[in-house]
Amino acid sequence: MPVGKNHAMDRYADQAPHRVRFEWGARGAAAVAPHVVVCAVVDVLSFTTCVSVAVDAGIAVHPHRWGREGAAERAAAVGGVVAVGREEGEGVPQAVSLSPASLRAAATWAHDIVLPSPNGATISAVAAEAGATVVAASLRTARVVAEHLAAVLAADPTGTAAVAVIACGERWPEDTLRPALEDLVGAGAVLDALAALVGDGALSPDARAAAAAYRGVCADLAAALGDTASGRELRDRGYPDDIAIAVEVDASTLVPVLREGRFVALVGGVELRRATADDSSQTAEVWLRSFAGALPTVTRAHPDDDVRRWVHDVLVAGGRTWVAVDGGRVVGLLALRPGWVEQLYVDPAAQGRGIGAALLDLAKARNPGGLQLWTFQVNAGARRFYAREGFVEVEHTDGAANEEREPDVRLTWSR
């Protein structure tokens, strides 16, 4: 049956009136998505795991329907790269593939990746075209996606809004759906966590069954997924690391959400993405407000207008700055160079919401070999924050080498 074609079964397949629903594949997504607010798409081996690894490192993932032309043109338009087949990318500098290990290796240099996929990317497009907001769910994001879905349900004043979790499955050679255990388990992990937040009664029978499937194997997910057909195939082809990354349960605190054709990260409803020229003005104002709030006794070396030009011409134009955006307003910024955090500021009004920690986690993901940064000794709040995040103070100076001539401290972090 063609995806999206109306059928008498659809009136029952939408699983109404249950607020938490579960379905399989592109046809299931087409049946359920028009009736829900959010679809969480699950393709554990490997599309949605790849998306999670990428957005953790501040990489925007542009899903591309499998078999459709135009991937190279999409990549060129955003200054990114197109993912290739696993074997095709081996040994090729700065090549990425539909492999979580490949995406993790790309974290040090990539910022936009067009990722074709026969299951996850295609089903994300089906759900989005039906009007649902799409999030990429996996074992790495199970709890945080469940929390996001619970917040969506709680925010509906009518108490009738619904969400769905879609297990992608795999394809048989004749292009029919092959239900895949890894996707059932990944969907079940999200649904099990969601049931704990909204109550088991909100789940359809299908959703409760998926949650039970997860509980049945969660004691040893690595063994369970490694022994699936997909897991054995990956291991025999020489990609055991992809399975290991896929079973990093709840390793991420970021929700990958599809916005304007690309997956970006959400933390507490705040979007983390690479800064554009349009963000420069707001980003500079966040820098100025944050500096003034955190360092009232420090005399800046440059006037406000010079700071604004520097943010626009250097930080943002250089492509090395990420911003936190809440409701269209920049509330945080992170500027990096290899091995260094150059700038990390959160608007005073947005502090205490985990934004700074999320930006710092992004910096760590892009610099797995370690990080360094400087802060002023008088900034006691920043020093406590960095200590909580695993940084160690290794050098104190009298400030003679910085523009403000203010005593400072160098901190380092390593895995």
Residues 239, 310, single domain; the answer is no
State the average pLDDT for the chain.
95
Q: Which long-range contacts (CB under 8 A, 24 or more apart) does 201-204 make?
A: 202/18, 202/19, 202/20, 202/153, 203/18, 203/20, 203/22, 204/15, 204/18, 204/20, 204/21, 204/22
- Report whether 361 contacts 253 (CB < 8 A): yes
**Domain end residue (candidates: 221, 239, 267):** 267
Residues 125, 208, single domain; the answer is yes
Residues 237, 281, single domain; the answer is no
Residues 214, 240, single domain; the answer is yes
pLDDT of residue 9: 62
Q: Which of 301, 292, 273, 17 is nearest to 160 (CA)?
A: 17
Domain of residue 357, CATH code = 3.40.630.30
* Residue in the block written with tokens 């966040």: 286
**Domain end residue (candidates: 233, 267, 301):** 267
In tens, the pLDDT along 59-74 reads 999 999 988 889 999 9
Please tell me whether residue 157 adopts helix, strand or coil conformation.
Answer: coil
Residues 242, 351, single domain; the answer is no
In tens, the pLDDT along 11-42 reads 778 898 999 999 999 999 999 999 999 999 99
Does the residue 202 lie in any domain? yes
Does the residue 3 lie in any domain? no
Does the residue 56 lie in any domain? yes
* Residue in the block written with tokens 């993405």: 273
Q: Which of 125, 121, 133 is nearest to 40 (CA)?
A: 133
Does the residue 250 lie in any domain? yes
Residues 178, 283, single domain; the answer is no
The 10 Å CB-count burial string (b at 16+, else e) for 388-411 is: ebebeeeeeeeeeeeeeebebbeb
Look up the domain containing 302 and give its range.
Answer: 270-413
Give yes or no for residue 111 having a pLDDT over 80.
yes
Domain of residue 246, CATH code = 3.90.1560.10
Residues in the chain: 415
Residues with Cβ within 8 Å of residue 259, at least 6 apart in sequence: 271
Maximum C-alpha span of the chain: 76
pLDDT of residue 7: 58
Q: What confidence category does residue 2 fall into, taking pLDDT thresholds of 50, 70 and 90? A: very low
Residues 146, 195, single domain; the answer is yes
Give yes or no for residue 207 having a pLDDT over 50.
yes
Residues 68, 210, single domain; the answer is yes
Residues 103, 213, single domain; the answer is yes
Residues 309, 333, single domain; the answer is yes
- Report whether 333 contacts 345 (CB < 8 A): yes
Does the residue 64 lie in any domain? yes
Strand locations in 123-269 (E): 133-137, 163-167, 170-171, 177-178, 255-259, 262-267
The domain tally of the chain equals: 2
- Report whether 98 contacts 85 (CB < 8 A): yes
Does the residue 19 lie in any domain? yes
Does the residue 139 lie in any domain? yes
pLDDT of residue 5: 52
**Listed range (91-105, 205-219, 221-235) with the worst mean pLDDT:** 91-105
Q: CA of 360: how far to CAs of 56, 234, 241, 356, 367, in Å?
A: 10, 32, 25, 6, 10
Residues 236, 278, single domain; the answer is no
Backbone φ and ψ for 145, nearest 5 degrees, come out as -70, -40
Is the model's pTM score more than 0.95?
no
Residues with Cβ within 8 Å of residue 234, at least 6 apart in sequence: 45, 240, 242, 243
Mean pLDDT of 104-125: 95
Does the residue 114 lie in any domain? yes
Mean pLDDT of 302-316: 97
Residues 242, 301, single domain; the answer is no
**Domain end residue (candidates: 267, 289, 321):** 267
